[in-house]
Amino acid sequence: ETLDERAKEVEEVLKAAAEPETGEFLVPLLPEQVQGMRKVVENLEPSSLDEGFLSTVDAFMMKSHQDGMDGMVEILQKCLQQYSGVSILRARNNMQKSDGEPSEHKESAELFEKLLSVDTDQWDVEIRNGVKTEGVTTQSLIGEIQKTMESVVLGLENGSMAQRVQAEFLRELVSRVQAIEEMA
């Protein structure tokens, strides 16, 4: 029953990526469609964003890949990215509430949280604009990401899909920051 619920929830996220008139999926997705997916993920109960949700997305991805539906694989990857951003942001907020300690690099923390909230396609632009801001360096941003990796992701069940997906998401973010650092 829970897997059926998770499948319905994944389908709700995917519906937000479909063309409103036709219900078809066109890639690349428009920014509004990605934002729509994000809103659906944000509105799901935190308890819904569990291993069942991730297993369902994974199964849909495998089936789409086997059927040669690369566009759907791309959309499901966006779904995982939105899941990661929402889950990590929620975990950071919960940590800050319990710790009561703001980050020592406030500007870097704010940029990182913005990056967790935007489509990964916007990361490079946001990072470049963000590191022009006073108080933000690529190193302070990477430090903020790594701190979250240690406190949030390593706190998840070891070897779980949630841990793998969120760790991959943050590693990709670090590599984008490093690429921009190298271009500077």
Q: pLDDT tens digit string along 9-22?
A: 999 999 999 999 99
Model confidence band, residue 120 (pLDDT cutoffs 50, 70, 90): very high
Question: Of 60, 12, 58, which Cα lies nearest the Cα of 38?
Answer: 12
Lookup: tokens for 72: 């759907």
CA distance 58 to 76: 8
Q: Given this model, what pLDDT does residue 102 score?
A: 62
Q: Given this model, what pLDDT does residue 184 score?
A: 76
Q: Given this model, what pLDDT does residue 5 score?
A: 93
Model confidence band, residue 55 (pLDDT cutoffs 50, 70, 90): very high
Q: Given this model, what pLDDT does residue 168 score?
A: 97
Please give the average per-residue pLDDT across 112-123, as a whole number: 97
Q: Given this model, what pLDDT does residue 98 score?
A: 78
Whether 133 contacts 97, CB under 8 Å: no
CA distance 62 to 73: 8
What DSSP line would sit under 14-39, residue for residue?
HHTTS-TTT----SSPPHHHHHHHHH
The highest-confidence range among 73-82, 102-111, 145-154, by mean pLDDT, is: 73-82
Q: Which amino acid is at 6?
A: R
Model confidence band, residue 133 (pLDDT cutoffs 50, 70, 90): confident
Lookup: tokens for 11: 């389908």
Backbone angles phi, psi at 28, to 5 degrees: -70, 155
Q: Given this model, what pLDDT does residue 132 score?
A: 85
Please give the average per-residue pLDDT across 78-85, as a whole number: 98
Lookup: tokens for 3: 């897997």
Model confidence band, residue 103 (pLDDT cutoffs 50, 70, 90): low
Q: Given this model, what pLDDT does residue 83 score?
A: 98
Question: Of 36, 40, 41, 34, which Cα lies nearest the Cα of 83?
Answer: 41
Q: Given this model, what pLDDT does residue 101 score?
A: 64
Question: Of 3, 116, 1, which Cα lies nearest the Cα of 53?
Answer: 3
Model confidence band, residue 1 (pLDDT cutoffs 50, 70, 90): confident
